[in-house]
A = this chain, B = another copy of it.
């Protein structure tokens, strides 16, 4: 591996908003009751106006406040590496680069948006932020950001993760956040579930409902989401902007850009600034979103209006989805276990401007082990999905005898995920096939949500 350096002055000054350049603009979110387009007023009980303006903006560039850039400087610019070790082991003519977001305080790309989200809340006098977390990456990032701005942070952590991953909880506590297992008895949504199923292991959908309910019920409290929404994807575009500059120094430009896709934010972060060059400068880079075969919304889901949460509190979003009641298998890549894809990524996929592929987890862990040995970095299970696809592309380049430049987003390290590798080495992990009728059954449930023509 060879590192490509940037200086602090190279941290982008603006976030890039792809809405400005999309040939087909995203469809509007809908109010779940009226099924009419949802406007800023629908969102103001749960988000500060600074973020709502970004959520609905069509401006191409939005300036990053100095206070946010100052905190970005803790870990940014993040390094870009040429994966010389991996190239050698694969004996490929392809050049492989990766942007490494694991250098952040919480170990993933998530603080890129947690920091501005905390900032805009602080600006508008908010005292507390609520959120949900599954595996814990997002909750840790928001806890870190809230500590930086002196905000309280209240995290609803899916019960099963709360029990199985106590160390993530302790990290959030160390940053000063309160962490509650979800469902909890702190909300009506939680109490309803606990009454019916006291032993439930919880779900991300329930945790979102609890966090939103807490925010709606208190004027000093707002809610925060770590992926899916336009403003979240917007904040992540600093990844790709830095990568463009770093590749310039290396005298290179990618033929293909690869990232895992859970809600869409890390994929968008690295892809959108390059995709802009496809849309406006005639570049022909391919963009591949990699999802787990156990949660294949992009490759087997449908483009429909659906809720972001199980309880139906959120607006209806036009997206590729498996239905908001789809329950993916408990794979270790917890950040990829979301039923839908962000509106922006969904529209781009529909318009064939990006591609998608679903991979099985055993291939991904095998790729992670190859990467650890050759590059020296142990990747988070989510990130191994990108690596597996990179290896496929590099092998294909070898077969075809073609030079090809591959860039991928190494969105986080695996220091807190070693139980996953342990299970892999112990032969405890399986691949997952999902029957067609399970997918169609879940999609049927959301057909009633579609607006009438």
Binding site for B on A (CB under 8 A): 1-3, 5, 7-8, 73-74, 81, 85, 103, 105, 107, 144, 147-148, 166-168, 170-171, 173-176, 368-369, 372-374, 376-378, 413, 415-416, 418-419, 421-422, 425
Contact A166 B8 (CB under 8 A): no
Q: What chain B residues lie within 8 Å of A378 (beta carbons)?
A: 105, 171, 174-175
Contact pick for A373, options B81, B166, B170, B175, CB 8 Å: B175
Q: Looking at A147, A413, A416, A418, which has the most chain B CB atoms within 10 Å of its CB?
A: A418
Q: Is the interface of A mostly helix, strand, loop or mixed?
A: helix
Q: What chain B residues lie within 8 Å of A418 (beta carbons)?
A: 166-168, 170-171, 174, 416
> 18 more A-B contacts (CB under 8 A) besides A147-B373, A173-B421, A416-B416?
A1-B74, A2-B73, A5-B7, A74-B81, A85-B148, A105-B378, A144-B376, A148-B376, A166-B422, A167-B422, A168-B418, A170-B419, A170-B422, A170-B425, A174-B372, A174-B418, A175-B376, A415-B416
Q: What chain B residues lie within 8 Å of A171 (beta carbons)?
A: 378, 415, 418, 421
Q: What chain B residues lie within 8 Å of A416 (beta carbons)?
A: 415-416, 418
Q: What chain B residues lie within 8 Å of A103 (beta carbons)?
A: 103
A-B pairs, 5 with minimum CB distance? A167-B418, A415-B415, A105-B376, A170-B418, A170-B422
Contact A376 B74 (CB under 8 A): yes
Contact pick for A175, options B73, B74, B173, B372, CB 8 Å: B372
5 contacts between A and B (CB under 8 A): A103-B103, A144-B376, A166-B418, A413-B415, A415-B416
Q: What chain B residues lie within 8 Å of A373 (beta carbons)?
A: 147, 174-176
**Alpha-carbon distance A167/B175, docked complex (angstroms):** 23
Q: What chain B residues lie within 8 Å of A176 (beta carbons)?
A: 373
Q: What chain B residues lie within 8 Å of A81 (beta carbons)?
A: 74
User: Which of chain B's residues has its CB closest to A378's CB?
Assistant: B174
Q: What chain B residues lie within 8 Å of A85 (beta carbons)?
A: 148
Q: Looking at A85, A105, A166, A170, which has the most chain B CB atoms within 10 Å of its CB?
A: A170
Q: What chain B residues lie within 8 Å of A422 (beta carbons)?
A: 166-167, 170
Smallest beta-carbon distance A120→chain B, Å: 19
Smallest beta-carbon distance A315→chain B, Å: 33
Contact A415 B107 (CB under 8 A): yes
**Alpha-carbon distance A376/B111, docked complex (angstroms):** 11
**Alpha-carbon distance A385/B406, docked complex (angstroms):** 43
Q: What chain B residues lie within 8 Å of A174 (beta carbons)?
A: 368-369, 372-373, 378, 418, 421
